[in-house]
Homo-oligomer: A and B are copies of this chain.
Amino acid sequence: MKNKILQVVGYSQTGKTTIIQTVLAELTKIGYQVAVIKSAKSYKERENSKDTGKYLDSGAKISAGIFDNSLQITIAQKYSLQQIIETIDSISKNDVILIEGFKMSEYPKVLLWKSNELHNLNEFNLNELLLVYCSQKDYNNHNQLKELSEKKSVPIVFGMETLVKEIMKYLTS
């Protein structure tokens, strides 16, 4: 069985992590094996154990640490999203891969939207858009969202519960 891939995209503070955690817990409950990929903005966010940082700074290509029940591997190399997916698939069989962010990538995705003068729908790759989650008010005031919904038949979802239900339907179908 080929695994299902879903992106959850949106500006910060739109609830991406919470949605992914909720879906993750639901999928785990029914026995799915899930991998998560997230994009982090800055090097600072990589909180290695101290030694991992030292080894990478000294020139290691890969630094791996084993811990009680998990293995952490850091690879000093640029990866495209597709390469990450391939690497993860070579490490373990995953039923579902959830991706937080990577707004310009072209995998099936849900968009969590909050209107704000700095937010621009054109920053997202919407070719594989499954649905949009936003408030009723943002929907009413945003012509581009209405257009997506009316001309391109992209479902708009207002409630968090419906959102999770729709995502689960897609991932388990």
Contact residues of A with B, CB < 8 Å? Answer: 17, 20-21, 24-25, 27-29, 33-40, 42-43, 45-49, 51-52, 54-56, 58-79, 81, 84, 87-88, 90-92, 94, 98, 100
Given A42-B67, A79-B71 in contact, is the A94-B61 Cβ separation under 8 Å?
yes
Report how far A75 CA is from B98 CA in the complex, Å.
15
In the A-B complex, list the 3 residue pairs whose CB atoms are closest, starting with the nearest. Answer: A28-B59, A35-B62, A24-B58
A81 to chain B, nearest CB (A): 8
A25, A72, A88, A92 interface centre (most CB from chain B within 10 Å): A72
A87 to chain B, nearest CB (A): 6
Report how far A38 CA is from B74 CA in the complex, Å.
12
This protein's copies in its complex: 2
Report how far A129 CA is from B4 CA in the complex, Å.
48
A143 to chain B, nearest CB (A): 33
A109 to chain B, nearest CB (A): 17
Question: Which B residues lie within 8 Å of A24 (CB)?
Answer: 55, 58-60
Question: Which B residues lie within 8 Å of A17 (CB)?
Answer: 51, 54
Contact yes or no, A58 B91, CB < 8 A: no
